[in-house]
Amino acid sequence: MNQEDDGVLSIPEGLLGLPELKHLQIVYAEDELPFLRLREISDGKECLEFLVIEPAGIIENYQIEINDEDQLFLGVQNPDDLLILNIVTFHPGKKTRVTVNLMGPILINRRTHRGKQVIVDNYVKYSAEYLLHEE
C-alpha cells in the first residue's frame, strides 16, 4: 500500500473486541508521520478512528510469528506482502505517555487489502503497552 492508494481495508472478523469493524481506511497525513489513522468506514455516522504505527524502523527487533491459519486467512506468501500496523494509545491524564500494542498487531495483505488483528504466536516477547514515549 502506498500514499496514492485509497487505503480501504477489509477486516472480515473485525478488530479484537470490536467485531463490527469490518471496513476500515488507512488515512495518511504527512504532518502526523510516523503515525497513521485507521478510520472506520461508516454510512455517514460518527465513526471510530485509531492511531496506528508501522513498527519497522521504530520498534527495535520486532519480529512477529503468526500461525499457519492466520497466514492462510491473509493469503500472504511473501513477508514483503504483509503490512503490520500496531495500535497506539495516548493515556488519559498522562498526555506525554504513549504506548503501542505489540502483542496484537493488525496484519494486512498489501496486495488484497484483506486484514486481521491477531495475537502473535510469540506474544510472550512483547507487551500490549510497549512504552513509545514518556516525559
Domain assignments of the chain as residue spans, ordered by start: 8-133
- What CATH superfamily is the domain 8-133? BH3618-like (2.30.290.10)
Kindly report the backbone phi and psi dihedral angles of residue 83, in degrees, each rounded to the nearest multiple of 5, phi listed first.
-100, 125
Model confidence pLDDT, tens digit, residues 55-111:
987 888 899 999 999 999 999 988 899 999 999 998 887 667 899 999 999 999 999
Indicate the pTM of the whole model.
0.89
Tell me the residue ranges of DSSP E strands in 16-60. Answer: 23-27, 35-40, 49-53
Closest by CA to 128, choosing from 75, 80, 91, 83, is 91
Q: Nearest Cα to 12, choosing from 109, 87, 102?
A: 109
Which tens digits make up the pLDDT trace of 6-59? 678 999 999 999 999 999 999 989 999 899 999 998 776 768 999 999 998 788
DSSP conformational letter for 91: P
Handedness of CA 75, 77, 83, 86 (dihedral sign): positive
Phi/psi-derived region of residue 38, left when phi > 0, alpha when psi is between -120 and 50, beta in every other case: beta
